[in-house]
């Protein structure tokens, strides 16, 4: 079963990469990256180099394209992580540590600091304000 799920994840990654390549000629780089990051919940974030490889371009070229669009890979990743964090915090079954791990943070403290930057409130306070039971 473990090998089947690995094969399935690899297949899904290949399919997403193919869709990215198709859209590349028609859509801006930032939109493609947002789309990809939005379709990969639970996948640990990766680097600009990894994204460039998926898009069949160089990291330098991708960085320039994003710069031309007025953004950075780091900003897009933070935007995506923030949205995923908000959704995951809505699930009361998940502890804050589990939410942090699912978003690719090694430490709860790192996640808490990032979340405070994004929403100006601690994740636990955010969760309580949403009245998650």
Distances, alpha carbon 100 to alpha carbons 21, 33, 106, in Å: 30, 21, 7
pLDDT of residue 133: 56
Domain ranges of the chain: 2-71, 78-129
pLDDT, tens digit (0-9, with 9 covering 90-100), for 79-102: 988 999 999 999 999 999 999 998
| CATH superfamily ID and name for 78-129 | Homeodomain-like (1.10.10.60)
Count H helices and E strands in the chain, helices first.
Answer: 8, 0
pLDDT, tens digit (0-9, with 9 covering 90-100), for 118-128: 999 999 999 99
Q: Cβ of 133: how many Cβ atoms within 10 Å?
A: 4
pLDDT of residue 132: 57
Between these two residues, 25 and 83, which has the higher pLDDT value?
83
Residues 6+ apart with CB under 8 A from 120: none
Scanning the structure block, which residue is given the tokens 């094969």? 7
């Amino acid at each position: 079963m473990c090998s089947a799920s690995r094969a399935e994840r690899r297949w899904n990654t290949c399919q997403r990469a193919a869709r990215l390549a198709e859209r590349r000629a028609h859509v801006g780089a930032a939109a493609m990256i947002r789309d990809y990051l939005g379709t990969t919940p639970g996948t640990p974030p990766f680097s600009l180099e990894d994204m460039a490889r998926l898009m069949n371009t160089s990291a330098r070229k991708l960085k320039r394209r994003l710069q031309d669009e007025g953004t950075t890979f780091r900003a897009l990743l933070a935007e995506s992580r923030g949205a995923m964090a908000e959704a995951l915090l809505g699930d009361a079954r998940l502890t804050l540590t589990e939410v942090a791990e699912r978003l690719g943070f090694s430490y709860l403290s790192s996640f808490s600091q990032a979340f405070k930057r994004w929403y100006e409130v601690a994740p636990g306070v955010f969760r309580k304000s949403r009245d998650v039971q």
